[in-house]
Structure 1
């Protein structure tokens, strides 16, 4: 059974007055890993100029400060947002609670900031007490299938996994690369226990809401919060589960199945919402004022 088609808009301005806070996805909405989208940066700047607050909400398996530095390298101006909350921030809190346990890290060296100053003991799968997955060791050449042997070894020891990035794939330029979520899904399918620290799970939204309240100096009603994102699995599902509206961006990771970066296939769009059983407040090709 199909569900009603949401409002399709080319401009954010008519919606902006309904909200005080934006929970805005980063990769796929603000940039594609190579360059920022100028119209999106402009829209966020205008929203903030009107008194709104923008909390960037990302499944990056790194500290928020590291994401800020990366945005700086892409020339995303800091006046486009107020704060950054990452799945890495949430994962770090879980890791800190396990400081006395030996950890197996699955992921690239660039994610090590998640462990800074925690004085952890790292160990191979044979001696680890649990695992943290932040990504693939080499996401340019590997796929989740390359990790079946490692996942089997973890499962044999019944190791618990903290997944620091629930995304399965992310857009880099115009290519899709695998993320930690794809490995965590494989481990779950083998019977392994996994804690997902980012979207669509509540802890990252609770952290973002607390950050927004601190910025505004007052509690923020959920009906005054809009989540903006390009993933049905993480952004749309997460917003619905937390009880906030969602503006769905089509020119992101679903672009290939929705008609491309420049057009929208309405039938395909309706199909993915029907399959998910979820409906955003509105749909836009790219966030623009």
Structure 2
């Protein structure tokens, strides 16, 4: 039986009237890591002007509000283009809070440390940690997942569970592809390690985004809308 492919839609406008809420990706859609995408931002702004609600969903391993202040504003994404933002960092913080008091070994750059602000998550070396939070590579401009093979083996030897704060494997930064936390998490999972992935494409971030949309609209959102 032949496979029937859906039609290619060049613009959001033909679909927009059928929906009350748009859950929109961020990196690669409203910006490319260097500058905002004006056409996408304009489409979302017009959707909101017609009564729609836009929630941005990002696998940035930092709290969503911080992403809006430090990244979206800087890159020129207008606040008029969205009602709110949910990040994989928000989901990760909920997972960390559920492990209150447990010692955590963090893999990732210093810029991701706000992930732990205000939470009972004492940092510990790998040998004394209860679990691992991976938010990215220490230096994604030069490192690859292969640089973490020894660390993965040491984590596996201790059977430490991992929370992956960014399931993306790679993202575009301008014209360059850089590795993300998902690449290390996949390496750990392939070695038999236990991994919980926060963020897209997993269900919890979408549930949280819909709750934010309902709060913005002041009513329940029908999922087919």
If asked which structure has higher relative contact order (CA below 8 Å, sep 6+), I would say: 1
Quote how far apart the aligned CAs of 1:57 are: 0.6
Aligned to 2:218: 217
Aligned-pair RMSD on alpha carbons? Answer: 1.1
- Counterparts of 1:55 and 1:10, CA distance in 2: 21
Aligned to 1:174: 175
- Counterparts of 1:10 and 1:119, CA distance in 2: 47
Aligned to 1:88: 89
- Counterparts of 1:14 and 1:42, CA distance in 2: 15
- Counterparts of 1:195 and 1:173, CA distance in 2: 29
> TM-score w.r.t. structure 1 length?
0.76
- Counterparts of 2:201 and 2:150, CA distance in 1: 28
Quote how far apart the aligned CAs of 1:3 are: 3.0
The reply to whether residue 38 of structure 1 matches residue 38 of structure 2 is yes
Aligned to 2:56: 56
Quote how far apart the aligned CAs of 1:4 are: 1.8
Q: What is the number of residues matched between the two proteins?
A: 224
Quote how far apart the aligned CAs of 1:50 are: 0.4
Quote how far apart the aligned CAs of 1:10 are: 2.1
Quote how far apart the aligned CAs of 1:96 are: 1.2
Quote how far apart the aligned CAs of 1:160 are: 0.4
The answer to whether the 8 Å contact 2:97/2:120 transfers is no
Aligned to 1:253: none
After superposition, the Cα gap between the structure-2 partners of 1:72 and 1:2, relative to the gap in structure 1 and judged at 3 Å, is farther
Post-superposition Cα deviations, 1:101-157, rounded to whole Å, max 9, x if no partner, equal: 110000011111110122431111111110000000000100001000001000000
Aligned to 2:19: 19
- Counterparts of 2:73 and 2:94, CA distance in 1: 25
Q: What pairs with 1:59-138 in structure 2 (closer than 5 Å)?
A: 59-69=59-69, 70-138=71-139
Quote how far apart the aligned CAs of 1:24 are: 0.3
- Counterparts of 1:102 and 1:3, CA distance in 2: 50
Q: List structure 1 segments (4+ residues) > 6 angstroms apart after TM superposition.
A: none
Quote how far apart the aligned CAs of 1:11 are: 2.0
- Counterparts of 2:40 and 2:113, CA distance in 1: 30
Quote how far apart the aligned CAs of 1:9 are: 2.3
The answer to whether the 8 Å contact 2:56/2:84 transfers is yes
SS of aligned partner of 2:104: strand
- Counterparts of 1:142 and 1:118, CA distance in 2: 29
Aligned to 2:194: 193
After superposition, the Cα gap between the structure-2 partners of 1:129 and 1:54, relative to the gap in structure 1 and judged at 3 Å, is same
Post-superposition Cα deviations, 1:257-285, rounded to whole Å, max 9, x if no partner, equal: xxxxxxxxxxxxxxxxxxxxxxxxxxxxx
> TM-score w.r.t. structure 2 length?
0.97
- Counterparts of 1:147 and 1:8, CA distance in 2: 40
Aligned to 1:140: 141
- Counterparts of 1:204 and 1:119, CA distance in 2: 22
- Counterparts of 1:12 and 1:199, CA distance in 2: 21
- Counterparts of 1:17 and 1:74, CA distance in 2: 28
